[in-house]
Amino acid sequence: MRMIMRNFMNQEQETERRCRWMPATNITEDEKAFHLEMAVPGFSKKDIKISIEKDMLKIFSERTKEENDQDQNYRVREFGQSDFCRTFNLGEHIDQDNIKAEYKDGILSVTLPRKEEVKIKKEIEIV
């Protein structure tokens, strides 16, 4: 189980190193799925893209800063609204065809169901 989670959390990808901002992410699991929650305040769901290439789940936005953002005199700025990206190694235990995502109140929720294990039981006749 730890190996599955370690593979899933392996996210030191080159694309992330180039991004300016990486949203905070929580990942939980149960016996049926991994559940990913990502805090992306100020975004709409049309700003966020999710793709899978090979066994990599990529969540990103290529949104640029708003023009009037440069005129702001921030005293404190702890979250951004510019482009971001996060990648996660899915591994072989995730059912990629049934991944689901929803966005509500600044939180992107992605459900990554586990593949059902194929259990084959076969009796061999002794002759």
- H helical segments located in the chain: 2-9, 14-18
The whole-model pTM stands at: 0.71
Domain boundaries, the chain: 2-113
Which tens digit of pLDDT belongs to each residue from 16-47? 555 667 899 999 999 899 999 999 988 888 99
> Regarding beta strands 100-104 and 84-89, do their DSSP bridges make them parallel or antiparallel, or are they unpaired?
unpaired
**In the CATH hierarchy, which fold is given to the domain comprising 2-113?**
Immunoglobulin-like (2.60.40)
Q: What is the pLDDT along the chain (127 residues), one digit of tens a residue?
A: 455 555 555 544 444 555 667 899 999 999 899 999 999 988 888 999 999 998 899 999 876 655 446 667 888 877 666 788 899 999 888 999 999 999 999 999 999 999 987 555 677 888 7
Q: What is d(CA 111, CA 99) in angstroms, rounded to the nearest whole number? A: 6
